[in-house]
């Protein structure tokens, strides 16, 4: 995936600013006065409010900060534009929000001392206080390009019986860390996907590029079965797999080309039947690549024999338009939609990345029927490592782990949804205004959540209307706010 960066610049506002932990909790201290609502009349007493508001601004003066203001539902008495939220109109169920826990991420997090590691894991996976409540993870089946080196779980050439299959490489960092995470959030969903089959199963005998040989389709299907069973034996349930990460990108390390006809045949004739024979309930999700080729998924869905084994399709947005996800849903409403990867990169603009990702992913993907939103790498070091030789050299983690832990833009992007929109929530109707983009949800406990992005260059005052009552609020230029009631 990462070698398509050459055209990402035409699709998104590039780059990220790293911010410190102190910033995430209290805002960057500068000579400027942060844009904030008026303080309560008695600063020592929290104001009465019906609605909680959490705010991140592009200047980083507010970083996922709960606002100490009173937002009370009443009759609207102003001429502000109004966003109506209607929980009588419901759409898809939400599975969660989160990141890819790459092998490199696991190694970096495990490098922390026990006190710091426990604090970071609680912050990432708990929902109370200022914790952000990650509820969905993507892991690689074998190495990804953000592992230190390429590998598979059976690198013994010709081992068609898979007698040498082993998860030992993951027992150093990934599996112990997943067990820690599951202890915090036992219900977290995990999606797993390979960057490549074992090199000896491919027509170029390499982790880089090439295609799976047809004579190894059955062996490779059994490789997936062994993986899911071995992870289950470790106490880790794999909720879903995709047969190949970015199957149209053969220019990564590892990588593997798998065109839609081949993936459809593999699912129909090998992977699906192997799962069924082994009694495996793990979902099969096809494609897992850019929105510029939605026909990859719909071609597989059009084959009834293949579609019978398939839960849905997964997308990235390094190419294409997010609305393509909605078009796939319209054609095949019985198939689920997932958004499984988008990277942020070092050396760019915090506010630009914040706005683009909130607009296209948190709002855009979910308004186009996605059940989840996953950003790319959870953790990187100050030099944007580890990565393979040929892997992404510019991908920035949600957190940077070096002498200290710093939080980066994707941390805040996901936090604005993950903390409040919990698994099992349903998307509900909310208005879109000219410069105010929105998406709303209703949790299983009845609470409502709305994420709002102000795309204007000035602050915007508006009303939120729910059940014929309204609350008035203001959001700064370029900022994102989450409202909860």
Question: In 3-state terms, what secondary structure has residue 393?
Answer: coil
How many angstroms separate the CA atoms of 34 and 133, rounded?
26
Place of tokens 């390499």: 206
The C-alpha atoms of residue 91 and residue 76 are separated, in whole angstroms, by: 28
- Which residues are registered as beta bridge partners of 65? 55
- Intra-chain end-to-end CA distance of the chain, in Å: 39
Token digits of residue 415: 């936090």
Can you name the residues that pair with 81 across neighbouring β-strands?
Answer: 462
The neighbouring-strand residues paired with 240 are 191, 283
Catalytic positions are 246, 341
Cα distance between residue 338 and residue 366, in whole Å: 9
Distances (CA, A) of 158 to 13, 155, 161, 382: 46, 9, 9, 40
CA pair distance 107, 363, nearest whole angstrom: 32
Number of alpha carbons in the 13 Å side-chain half-sphere of residue 91: 22
CB 293 within 8 A of CB 320: yes
For residue 184, how far is the Cα from the chain centroid?
19
- Does residue 165 come out as left (phi exceeding 0), alpha (psi in the -120 to 50 range) or beta? beta
Please answer whether residues 263 and 244 qualify as being in contact, where contact means their C-beta atoms are separated by less than 8 angstroms: yes
**Torsion sign across C-alpha atoms 310, 311, 312, 315:** negative
Contact of 123 with 132, CB cutoff 8 Å: yes
């Amino acid at each position: 995936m990462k070698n398509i960066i050459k055209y990402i610049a035409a699709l998104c506002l590039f780059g990220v600013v790293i911010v410190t932990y102190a910033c995430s909790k209290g805002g960057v201290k500068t000579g400027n006065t942060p844009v904030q609502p008026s303080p309560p009349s008695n600063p020592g007493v929290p104001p009465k409010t019906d609605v909680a508001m959490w705010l991140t601004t592009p200047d980083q003066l507010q970083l996922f900060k709960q606002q100490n203001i009173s937002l009370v539902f009443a009759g609207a008495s102003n001429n502000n534009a109004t966003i109506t939220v209607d929980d009588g109109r419901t759409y898809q169920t939400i599975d969660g929000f989160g990141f890819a826990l790459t092998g490199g991420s696991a190694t970096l997090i495990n490098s922390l001392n026990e006190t710091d590691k426990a604090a970071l894991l609680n912050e990432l996976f708990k929902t109370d206080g200022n914790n952000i409540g990650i509820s969905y993870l993507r892991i690689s089946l074998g190495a990804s390009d953000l592992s230190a080196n390429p590998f598979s779980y059976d690198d013994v050439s010709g081992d068609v019986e898979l007698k040498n299959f082993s998860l030992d490489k993951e027992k150093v960092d990934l599996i112990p860390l997943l067990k820690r995470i599951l202890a915090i959030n036992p219900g977290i969903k995990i999606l797993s996907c390979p960057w490549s089959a074992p090199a000896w199963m491919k027509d170029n005998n390499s982790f880089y590029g090439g295609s799976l040989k047809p004579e190894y389709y059955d062996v490779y299907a059994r490789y997936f079965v062994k993986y899911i069973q071995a992870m289950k034996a470790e106490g880790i349930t794999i909720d879903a797999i995709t047969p190949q990460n970015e199957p149209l990108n053969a220019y990564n390390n590892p990588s593997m080309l798998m065109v839609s006809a081949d993936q459809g045949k593999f699912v129909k004739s090998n992977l699906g039947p192997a799962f069924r024979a082994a009694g495996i309930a793990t979902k099969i999700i096809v494609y897992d690549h850019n929105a510029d080729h939605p026909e990859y998924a719909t071609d597989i869905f059009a084959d009834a024999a293949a579609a019978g084994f398939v839960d849905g399709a997964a997308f990235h947005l390094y190419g294409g338009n997010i609305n393509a996800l909605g078009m796939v849903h319209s054609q095949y409403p019985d198939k689920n939609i997932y958004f499984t990867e988008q990277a942020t990169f070092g050396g760019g603009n915090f506010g630009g990345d914040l706005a683009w990702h909130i607009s296209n992913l948190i709002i855009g993907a979910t308004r186009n029927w996605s059940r989840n939103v996953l950003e790319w790498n959870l953790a990187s070091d100050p030099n944007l490592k580890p990565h393979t030789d040929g892997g992404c050299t510019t991908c920035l983690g949600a957190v940077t782990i070096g002498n200290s832990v710093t939080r980066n833009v994707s941390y805040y992007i996901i936090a604005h949804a993950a903390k409040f929109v919990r698994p099992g929530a349903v998307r509900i109707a909310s208005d879109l205004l000219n410069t105010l983009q929105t998406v709303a949800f209703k949790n299983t406990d009845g609470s409502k959540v709305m994420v709002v992005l102000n795309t204007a260059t000035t602050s915007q005052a508006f009303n939120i209307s729910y059940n014929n009552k309204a609350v008035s609020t203001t959001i700064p230029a370029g900022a994102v706010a989450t409202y909860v009631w």
